[in-house]
Amino acid sequence: MTNLFVRKKKVKGRWYYYAVQSTRLGSDKWKKVERYIGLNPPSKKEIEGYKTEFDRIKQFLSEKGEELEKIRRLWLDKKKNATKDEIMKLEESVIIKFTYDTNRIEGSSLSYKDTKMLLQDGIAPREKPMRDIKEAENHRKAFIFMKESLPKEINRELILGLHRILKESVTEDAGKFRDAQVRVGDLVPIKADMVETEMENLLKWHKKNRNLHALELAAVFHCIFERIHPFFDGNGRVGRLLLNHIFLKKGYPVVIVQNRNKRRYYNALKRADDGNYLYMIKYLFDELKNQIKDY
């Protein structure tokens, strides 16, 4: 049995709207799951859509619950039983693959072979843009910084720190939120003067809902982060690092958003702009299921 209602909250002079689902867990126990909607009150049709989406996500996670737990256990057992050398080699291969795919999605010219030679052997590829080389080196550092931050919750300092490392010696705004309007394809993100407040809201939402299943928490957080688009450049790469902060913190392996599947990934982000996060949840589940075989 589920009930859904809309809650509004005033932050720094602006009203923000949330869809809240109350789910009965037992005869006298309820659980509330909250979804950030935005600045405008939803219509009746939109409320019905949110309710349907809540129910579909709940059903999907219920259906895949055993498989998700099996994946988590396989990963934890792998880490427990592997030698230090095996763990180091595994992490090295994950960093190389993650760096290649996440940068390639954003237009990097480096091939997988280029990335591997650069990060593993320190050999920079010839005739490739210095920016692409530097961003690959920086991403490795950012990944390590993300992992070292696992004992902490996601916060403003972590987000800006990841961006600062990623964009060091690449752009002048490294470690700073954008201060002007941007456009990303058909998407026009929020105004620059709202970025700080929107990020604050997202972090509060994450803190309040961190007991959600890792798959749902990571998917929803990632989609909202990308919709806010807090930086001029580097939003996708920082967002995918934060996504994996959530997975790793909850005992799951790194999930790499692969360049070859970027069309499905972008489609899932576009669907999430309309409040439908199920597509991203399904996409990440498929990546998780396929990549656990490599681990």
pTM of the model: 0.89
Retrieve residue 96's tokens: 């190389």
- Same domain for 223 and 273, yes or no, is yes
Task: Tell me the CA end-to-end span of the chain in Å, nearest whole number.
Answer: 38
Residues 34 and 127 in one domain: no
Gap between the Cα atoms of 253 and 79, Å rounded: 10
Return the pLDDT at 8.
79
Query: Domains in the chain: how many in total?
Result: 2
What is residue 37's three-state secondary structure? strand
pLDDT reported for residue 30: 57
Do 20 and 42 have their domain in common? yes
Residue 219 in contact with residue 281, Cβ under 8 Å? yes
Residues 27-44: tens digit of each pLDDT: 455 567 777 776 777 788
pLDDT tens by residue, 54-102: 889 999 999 999 999 999 999 999 999 999 999 999 999 999 999 999 9
CA 29 – CA 35 distance, rounded (Å): 20
Domain CATH for 109: 1.10.3290.10
Same-domain status, 88 and 50: no
Query: For residue 51, how many other CB atoms are within 10 A of its CB?
Result: 16
Segments forming the whole domain that contains residue 145: 65-291
Q: Would you give the distance in Å from CA 109 to the centre of its chain?
A: 23
- Cα four-point dihedral sign 24, 201, 271, 240: negative
Whether 133 and 172 share a structural domain: yes
Cβ burial 264-286 (10 Å sphere, 16+ → b, else e): bbeebbebbeebbbbbbbbbbbe
